[in-house]
Structure 1
């Protein structure tokens, strides 16, 4: 199976829409064994969902090669799904989406039987909703939530740790709702999840159950024994690599052994086809699925060579104006963005008449990796190829006047892509870590150790929260000291006399940075730089351009905004508003399309390419 994956470029899953949400259907490989079973994935929620997004895609691709079709989707109010103003029905809103996904999966695959694969609270929903989903012949429960009450307490603790890591003050944290990483669970849903408890299910969710149990979780062990006592054939396995998977989307390590175990077990549990309806071919699946909001219409699509990239085109319902914004992801966050910021930004822009495209780069979220590319693609030119494919897509849709926008690694990618393709008419860079990557610095180490600016270290040292974390052993002192040492060295290098510059690596990086800024200035391409006041990237920017950005004056195309009281991820609402407004201004100033484009309405949208 691994050999086939290495030889054959995978396409992104086929997007479909139902129940106000987006589903991704992965059809079974045409040359594989045919099954009368298909897999429905039930996702976890919050940060755990962001961390497991790639896991779902990897499982779906491997199952497809084994001959088993699958569907994964977003619950209403999460990911790419529509936001509902009314959750009065509580958990029933999510339940209807699960039922809709099951129906759509059966229709597309022709399979009569379902196998449920759930993670976290998704595993709990699988166990709870299985009796309502028709024939469910097997269920995989990965680290299931046993008690909803305990789960909400764990979320509160997890949320505090994330906020502390971001450096958010108590008054900047979401304390009046169930929330984590800026994602807020609807109160009505949270109230019903609090009541969930599956440790005494009256019937098993299926006759065969695979339980992936986390270490030292007695209630998961007890659930396995309870399901076996009810008559289910239970396969119990340790969930190896769970902690490395769910700690951080950018650092998430895929549990390869567990993936192989799940694929093998599901393949054995699935029922082979005996004259059932054939799988729908990709060409038979409706090609243009849409979600409609009050001010926007969104089209999830595949594009690029071999349809390998997944994204969402968001267009205004009324007259379009300005340039199209290409939103680039940060790290390995899915294209919806940290705390759904990219989704919210796209819909805000549409309300102002501006179209946008957000997408997952190769091996990020729902876009498969490129065959032959290295595993680590951040801060490499491989990602620029994906942006060029996005430009090509917009050109084909008569939306090609484009602006790039991104945060952190997405800002770096926007900068490098603007240099590589003059179809970029403006760029908005939010908290870029650097502009020229230091080849002596390993990307993996830079991501893992989360360096901070000297100002941020100073602010944190006088914080009571920092002292508590230090005494609890939750701070990597060695990494912090190393980071501070590098920054001090960089500042000393910045004070070197000009004659000493050639012997300074930092000075050479500075010269290369200025050369690239000069290239964009010669093109008169507007460049908007936005930094949080204590961001590590601002420290590096000041090394190149001075404390107040005075070095930018030589480049008439560049402007600088510094946002006080904002973290690296732009969590506070006021900071988000500043970023959205700057992106909107850049799109409008980039120029109106020609007459034919300016009068384009969503209802007269251009024809999408095959596979979109």
Structure 2
């Protein structure tokens, strides 16, 4: 959710997309008289980047309001950037060169000669290594900095195992031959270089270090920067663990952000920025081109409030354009970069797509006066309608839509609401219509598993060990088990309850919507992981295993074995991709 304090007020419009050297950046111009200072954001990697991504946007908006422009960007081979090309710089030098190029772009776009660097995690290590190459740097902010590459990779390996275990990914589907986390793979040559790196400071005028209490390396870096002559502001990184654990429930470190914005603002000099180079932003960004696709970062909606990427085939376009929805608060590149992979592979089959961040997600600012918690909120239908409007104006209809988890819920609600959408592929929907009696925050923090999952987990020795150590929320787990039992009872009682007046209104609505979709020939592809909790809700309306769906000729249902809720394993992703491709071809 958006935690905006006095110094963290969001903008109305999304930042302006730029492309350079196969990379995508977002330039946020100053919204006030500009001094000769601009900020370059240097990101961490992996799951940490997914959590930090929105924070960068919030900070960029706040800096803009204070007269400071900024640029944030994706490293080569990450996010929306092109994959690493043959002949590119090898190892860590590739990402270090990306930072240097981004700094040059920022100076050109902003008209500023002086730059401040704001970095986190691995980004801090990279930024410290190239700081001397950036010229005229007013200062550097290092949030939870990586100082030992070997220790970082070891910690990343442990973190990756925890994520895999938490998702329930079978051992055979876990990535063990490469440094990875949450489906993201780090190039082997980059990992090999990181393993050799130890940073111990650099020459800079000012530094801001957000230290984690249990990481002595953070404070050692602050001391090293002081020894090198820097004026260092050292603060406690309050809320770090809650911030970077999971994008779905990430809690933004508001106090850290406000202190950081205040520190950066204090670096401004008296000289104004030169305005003779900012005019280049009036032009649209250049397309990025891969072997079978061309991509253009775009903004759309009122005031350009939504940000996304339009991906089209190099050759003839075939099939319906696909709107690829994000999941929860993940940026549109997707969990494990799945949104990017899907878009580019669809383009290889002649299918265009639009992936984008909904309001208050990733790089799209919230709607003024809108809800803080946007998941499962009807306001998101406006974002999808704006995306369809954009495709219509671009002459890219007909369109279909796809999504996973909360994105699948939005996909279903959108195809019901907007007749311009010809079909939807929805994977692991928690529900088809949100029960207003349920608190979204409570559900996403403690979504119950299927009953047999609790049984199997209780039989594991590791579960008993965690219980003994007090690492398991016994009350919460018991509550969820009761809910699972109650749902199972409800599943069998629902046909009886629906006979009584005033009961089953939600059930009647959902059944009616499926009938309406069949009547207008809107195709629905339903995909579930075999143990997904959404199957319980499906059974409440259509019987065990969704057998009642057989009455709808427009619905096709698939169960994926050995797949987690996020469809992390390769086989699960492939099945999802095939379903989306088939839908787009069907609705050409």
- Asked if 2 retains the 8 angstrom alpha-carbon contact of 1:493 and 1:507, the reply is no
Deviation of residue 465 (structure 1)?
4.5
2 CA distance for matches of 1:90 and 1:464? 41
Q: Paired residue for 1:43?
A: 43
Residue 218 (structure 1) aligned with residue 216 (structure 2): yes
Residue 60 (structure 1) aligned with residue 57 (structure 2): no
Secondary structure in 2 matching 1:496: helix
2 CA distance for matches of 1:521 and 1:497? 23
Secondary structure in 2 matching 1:250: coil
Query: Aligned match of 2:25 in 10, 23, 40?
Result: 23
Query: Aligned match of 1:433 in 430, 434, 450?
Result: 430
Deviations 1:419-461 (A, max 9, x none): 1110000100000000011112110011111321123323333
Distance 1:275 1:427, change over 3 A: closer
Q: Paired residue for 2:242?
A: 244
1 CA distance for matches of 2:90 and 2:550? 56
Distance 1:478 1:325, change over 3 A: same
Distance 1:568 1:284, change over 3 A: closer
Secondary structure in 2 matching 1:404: strand
Query: Aligned match of 2:399 in 375, 385, 402?
Result: 402
Distance 1:172 1:307, change over 3 A: same
Secondary structure in 2 matching 1:495: helix
2 CA distance for matches of 1:19 and 1:279? 19
Distance 1:434 1:103, change over 3 A: same
2 CA distance for matches of 1:60 and 1:466? 43
- Asked if 2 retains the 8 angstrom alpha-carbon contact of 1:401 and 1:425, the reply is yes
Q: Paired residue for 2:114?
A: 113
- Asked if 2 retains the 8 angstrom alpha-carbon contact of 1:110 and 1:280, the reply is yes
Q: Paired residue for 2:338?
A: 341
Q: Which moved more, 1:299-308 or 1:466-475?
A: 466-475
Q: Paired residue for 1:310?
A: 307
Q: Paired residue for 1:233?
A: 231
Distance 1:584 1:119, change over 3 A: same
- Asked if 1 retains the 8 angstrom alpha-carbon contact of 2:8 and 2:258, the reply is no
- Asked if 2 retains the 8 angstrom alpha-carbon contact of 1:138 and 1:208, the reply is yes
Query: Aligned match of 2:328 in 318, 328, 331?
Result: 331
Secondary structure in 2 matching 1:269: coil
Deviation of residue 568 (structure 1)?
0.3
1 CA distance for matches of 2:273 and 2:8? 28
1 CA distance for matches of 2:501 and 2:216? 57
- Asked if 2 retains the 8 angstrom alpha-carbon contact of 1:88 and 1:188, the reply is no
Alignment of 1:178-577 (within 5 A): 178-199=179-200, 201=201, 203-204=202-203, 206-274=204-272, 276-277=274-275, 280=278, 284-496=281-493, 498-501=495-498, 507-577=504-574
Deviations 1:2-44 (A, max 9, x none): 67987x8521111111121100000001xx2321111000000
Alignment of 1:84-233 (within 5 A): 84-86=84-86, 89-199=90-200, 201=201, 203-204=202-203, 206-233=204-231
Deviation of residue 544 (structure 1)?
1.4
Q: Paired residue for 1:598?
A: none
Distance 1:140 1:369, change over 3 A: same
Q: Paired residue for 1:74?
A: 74
Deviation of residue 573 (structure 1)?
0.7
Deviation of residue 334 (structure 1)?
0.4
2 CA distance for matches of 1:385 and 1:302? 15
- Asked if 1 retains the 8 angstrom alpha-carbon contact of 2:8 and 2:58, the reply is no
- Asked if 1 retains the 8 angstrom alpha-carbon contact of 2:288 and 2:295, the reply is yes
- Asked if 1 retains the 8 angstrom alpha-carbon contact of 2:148 and 2:197, the reply is yes
- Asked if 2 retains the 8 angstrom alpha-carbon contact of 1:490 and 1:506, the reply is no
- Asked if 2 retains the 8 angstrom alpha-carbon contact of 1:33 and 1:272, the reply is no
Deviations 1:465-488 (A, max 9, x none): 444444443332322221221121
Cα RMSD between the aligned structures? 1.9
Deviation of residue 534 (structure 1)?
0.3
Distance 1:55 1:279, change over 3 A: farther
- Asked if 2 retains the 8 angstrom alpha-carbon contact of 1:16 and 1:22, the reply is yes
**Unaligned regions of 5+ residues in structure 2, if any?**
none
Distance 1:176 1:470, change over 3 A: farther
Deviation of residue 373 (structure 1)?
0.4
Deviation of residue 78 (structure 1)?
0.8
TM-score (norm 1): 0.92
Distance 1:467 1:82, change over 3 A: farther
- Asked if 2 retains the 8 angstrom alpha-carbon contact of 1:494 and 1:507, the reply is no
TM-score (norm 2): 0.96
2 CA distance for matches of 1:318 and 1:509? 45
Deviations 1:503-523 (A, max 9, x none): 799844322221221121121
Q: Paired residue for 1:610?
A: none
Q: Which moved more, 1:15-24 or 1:511-520?
A: 511-520
Q: Paired residue for 1:12?
A: 14
Distance 1:119 1:506, change over 3 A: farther
Distance 1:348 1:125, change over 3 A: same
Deviation of residue 578 (structure 1)?
0.6
Distance 1:445 1:229, change over 3 A: same
Distance 1:317 1:490, change over 3 A: same
Secondary structure in 2 matching 1:433: coil
- Asked if 2 retains the 8 angstrom alpha-carbon contact of 1:403 and 1:427, the reply is yes
Secondary structure in 2 matching 1:115: strand
- Asked if 2 retains the 8 angstrom alpha-carbon contact of 1:493 and 1:506, the reply is no
Secondary structure in 1 matching 2:498: helix
Deviations 1:517-558 (A, max 9, x none): 112112111101000000000121122112232211222211
Distance 1:195 1:353, change over 3 A: same
- Asked if 1 retains the 8 angstrom alpha-carbon contact of 2:91 and 2:189, the reply is yes
- Asked if 1 retains the 8 angstrom alpha-carbon contact of 2:179 and 2:186, the reply is yes
Distance 1:351 1:470, change over 3 A: farther
Q: Which moved more, 1:388-397 or 1:477-486?
A: 477-486
